[in-house]
Amino acid sequence: MTNQPLLFGVIGHPVAHSLSPIMHQAAFNTLGLPHHYHAFDVAPENLKDAIRGIKTLGIKGVNVTIPHKENVIPLLDEVDPEARTIGAVNTVVERDGMLYGYNTDGEGYVRSLIEETGIQLNQTDAVMIGAGGAAKAISVYLLKHGIRSLTIINRTYTKAHTLAKQLTVYAEEQDLSTDITVLDWEEAVVKQYSFQLFVQTTPIGMWPNIDQTPLTISNIQPGAVVSDIIYNPLETAFLHEAQRAGATIHSGLGMFIHQGALAFEYFTSHKAPIDKMKSMVLNRLQQGGT
């Protein structure tokens, strides 16, 4: 990529709270790239025009956040297979007049999990709490990285069931042997000793409801990893409780940084300065950002 200044950004609604601008701008500055990263507040009725505007204005890439991650898909020229399976795109890159869509949330999660905990996914039976957008992205990549088994629990049982069916189709297409099941919430609490990994993907425990936990950790395997994708607060009550019970804990900050780092690499073809991105985001969170 040349050294001429290029424009990147994030589109969402609302988007003023997004930490992506400080994270990406810090990365550009650290590598001496003269690029700019801007937050674009795009109302749902303007999404089509905004996506067309990427090409006409010469924007090179955007991150996509709530509520546009799903609706952006039909507006793109090409969408990578995992993002299509997930049904959501969080990174759009312009190349030679074409718009390509990716989802870096799931891969970002797995990279962070492995980096911080050293977990061996092919020897891991995981239980995932939640079946929403983030859960879908994470579970596709847990499968892709060879997790031994995945059990899903969710407040709305039918949604867990639907996700399990979609993952089973994905596993068959990709020739993966992951065992995928759905459990009642209470049943999972009783069986918690059978899992080596807990992945908490609901907003339970997120600021300002910081005292809430999705389930009581009472009987876990020694060395189990408990992971919560919330990063505000950095350590949720669930993680606190898990640590007291002897678990290795993993917070959502790493996922956020790594999904951004992967997007940065799609945008620039440069290796992302992860430490700098993390320290900028941490700084902002400690000052009370969301």
Q: Which residues are catalytic?
A: 69
In terms of DSSP bridges, do strands 98-102 and 78-79 run parallel, antiparallel, or are they unpaired?
Answer: parallel
d(CA 212, CA 230) in angstroms, rounded, equals 12
Segment 96-155, which members bind ligand NAP (CB under 6 A)? 105, 130-135, 154-155
Q: What string marks each residue from 185 to 224 as x (binds ligand NAP by CB under 6 A) or -? A: ----------------xxxx-x------------------
Q: What string marks each residue from 62 to 101 as x (binds ligand NAP by CB under 6 A) or -? A: ----------------------------------------
Contacts by residues 238-241 (CB-CB < 8 Å, ≥ 24 positions apart): 238/200, 238/204, 238/205, 238/213, 238/214, 241/213, 241/216, 241/217
Give how far Cα 207 sits from Cα of 76, 117, 284, Å.
34, 25, 15
Smallest distance from the beta carbon of 131 to ligand NAP, in angstroms?
4
Residue 236, token pair as written in the block: 């949720």
Give how far Cα 203 sits from Cα of 48, 97, 156, 159, 226, Å.
29, 38, 14, 16, 15
Looking at residue 191, its amino acid is K
Smallest distance from the beta carbon of 71 to ligand NAP, in angstroms?
14
Q: Which of 164, 259, 264, 273 binds ligand NAP (CB under 6 A)?
A: 259
Q: How far is CA 168 from the centre of its chain?
A: 21
Q: What string marks each residue from 231 to 250 as x (binds ligand NAP by CB under 6 A) or -? A: x-------------------
Count of residues engaged in binding ligand NAP, rule: CB under 6 A: 23
Smallest distance from the beta carbon of 78 to ligand NAP, in angstroms?
23
Binding residues for ligand NAP, rule: CB under 6 A, are 105, 130-135, 154-156, 159, 201-204, 206, 229-231, 252, 255-256, 259
